[in-house]
Amino acid sequence: MHKILSVENLSKVFYTKEGEIKAIDKVSFDVNKNDFICIVGSSGCGKSTLLNIIAGLDKPSNGNITFYKKNTIIGYMLQEDALLPYLTILDNALLGLEIKKIKTKENIEYVKNLLTTYGLKDFMNKYPKELSGGMKQRVA
């Protein structure tokens, strides 16, 4: 097996006026190449907290995360689509390229092809408020 990620004894505690809240308590697992991982649990059990920590958006209270490949990039879909309401679907999809200053003709065509693949070809010039929730998720 080719290990790509290890999570060891990961814990996260949040502090509120009412006291301590353990969002995650001593979670451990490995992810190997070609693994398909599903994180399932009831609302408030720490799924998003776990993903936020793995993606580097939050820090654990305890434990370790090891990536076995240098410069590993983690991406995941947030619960909210985070589209900018004043940009078209195409402009939202191109925003990352624009920020990185790599919005070339080739990259624009690539994004248009992706939108077509995801069934959004006819919605490229629409705005997020004009799309269903699932369509917004695909754009994001």
pLDDT at 125: 96
Q: Note the pLDDT tens digit of each residue in 52-91.
A: 999 888 999 999 999 998 888 777 777 777 899 999 999 9
Residues of the chain scoring pLDDT < 70: none
What span, in angstroms and rounded, lies between the C-alpha atoms of 60 and 12?
A: 5
Closest CA to 135 of 83, 75, 76, 63: 83
What span, in angstroms and rounded, lies between the C-alpha atoms of 28 and 23?
A: 14
Backbone angles phi, psi at 133, to 5 degrees: -60, -40
Name the token pair of 56.
Answer: 């580097």
- Give CA angle at 82 (72, 106), nearest 5°: 60
pLDDT at 48: 87
